Amino acid sequence: AGTEENSYERAEAIARYLLERTGRRPELAVVLGSGLGGLGDSLTDRQVLPYAEIPGFPTSTVAGHQGNLIFGKAGDRDVVLMQGRFHAYEGYSVHQVTLPMRVFHLMGVRAVLLTNAAGGLNRDYAVGDVMLIRDHLNLPGLVGCNPLRGPNDERLGPRFPSTSDVYDKRMRDQLAEAFKQCNFPGATRLGVYVYQQGPCYESVAECRMLITMGADAVGMSTVPEAVVAHHAGLRVCAFSLITNMALLEWDSAEKANHEEVLQTGQLRADQLKSSVSHFLANFSLD
């Protein structure tokens, strides 16, 4: 059951391949957002597998998303890191986008940290801040493009899962503590991430609408992965790097652009590396 693209059988075959090929047993998976791929360097004892070498796995097409699965250690902890994710706007189905979450679950991974680059809607936010995700607005999900659409395989999770409890508070608190301990230079916010499919950045009217809906930051990823990971029983923690501020004035001379997104990722790369490494090495799953 499931669709062919994210069925139990496909996810299980990939999980088995990865376990056999690497001999690793990661406890936690991390997905690196746009411009955050450099975090892959922070692991020790690394084993790098290009997506193209993994039978049945999609490949990355976006600048700033290298397309490697990296197995390694953060402190004494075994982790697996996606250096590059899949987005629906690339043409992948929402089932392909979320397939890695099922693979991780079937490999025995217990928790995921999802990261992304996002536009700040909340006027108190500034470029270079991080926002821990407390909740989301799944806009495509609400109008029929939910990643759990299709036959449900009970081996992967329930037909009607809750989503009021996707983001794990304990992990989030430990992540906030890591940003604090490592003196992350931007502010650490707590907010609501709205997922729109992209690839267009938002119009001014859309940004104004998203604010009235209760969103603090907007992006093109993370929510489908979070929903499928939660469905499978993984603990989920997520944060956004605020790479640009959403434009709210029609006469603004500025325009959202991917270069700025990647530049802000670069600006914060070292500090994110130390905070995330600290979190990975020290968080507790109990």
Ligand X SMILES: O=P(O)(O)O[C@@H]1C[C@H](O)[C@@H](CO)O1
**Is 87 flagged in the annotation as binding?**
yes
Which of 40, 60, 85, 227 is in the footprint of ligand X by CB under 6 A?
85
CA 152 to chain centre: 23
CA 133 to chain centre: 11
Closest CB to ligand GUN among residues 18, 121: 121
Closest CB to ligand GUN among residues 52, 248: 248
End-to-end CA separation in angstroms for the chain: 32
Closest CB to ligand X among residues 34, 122: 34
Closest CB to ligand GUN among residues 36, 218: 218
Residue 101 binds ligand GUN (CB under 6 A) = no
Residue 62 binds ligand GUN (CB under 6 A) = no
Residue 221 binds ligand X (CB under 6 A) = yes
Closest CB to ligand X among residues 5, 225: 225
Given ligand GUN, ligand X, none, residue 87, with its beta carbon under 5 to 8 Å by kind, binds ligand X
Catalytic residue among 8, 152, 258, 282: 258
Residue 14 binds ligand X (CB under 6 A) = no
**Is 240 flagged in the annotation as binding?**
no
65 is catalytic: yes
In the complex, least distance from residue 229 CB atom to ligand GUN, rounded to whole angstroms: 20
Can you give the chain as a three-state secondary structure string? CCCHHHCHHHHHHHHHHHHHHHCCCCCEEEEECCCCHHHHHHCEEEEEEEHHHCCCCCCCCCCCCCCEEEEEEECCEEEEEEECCCCHHHCCCHHHHHHHHHHHHHHCCCEEEEEEEEEECCCCCCCCCEEEEEEEEEHHHHCCCCCCCCCCCCCCCCCCCCCCCCECHHHHHHHHHHHHHCCCCCCEEEEEEEECCCCCCCCHHHHHHHHHCCCCEEECCCHHHHHHHHHCCCEEEEEEEEEEECCCCCCCCCCCCHHHHHHHHHHCHHHHHHHHHHHHHHCCCC
Residues 96 to 155: which contact ligand X by CB under 6 A?
116-117
117 is catalytic: yes
* Amino acid present at 15: A
Given ligand GUN, ligand X, none, residue 62, with its beta carbon under 5 to 8 Å by kind, binds ligand X
Residue 140 binds ligand GUN (CB under 6 A) = no
Which of 11, 28, 87, 148 is in the footprint of ligand X by CB under 6 A?
87
Residue 70 binds ligand X (CB under 6 A) = no
Given ligand X, ligand GUN, none, residue 244, with its beta carbon under 5 to 8 Å by kind, binds ligand GUN
- Say how far apart CA 265 and CA 130 lie, in whole Å: 11
Catalytic residue among 7, 34, 68, 116: 34
Question: Catalytic site residues?
Answer: 34, 65, 87, 89-90, 117, 220-221, 244, 258
The residues of the shown chain that bind ligand X, judged by CB under 6 A, are 33-34, 62, 85, 87, 116-117, 198, 219-221, 258, 261
* Binding region for ligand GUN (CB under 6 A): 117-119, 196, 198, 201-202, 218-220, 243-244, 246, 256, 261
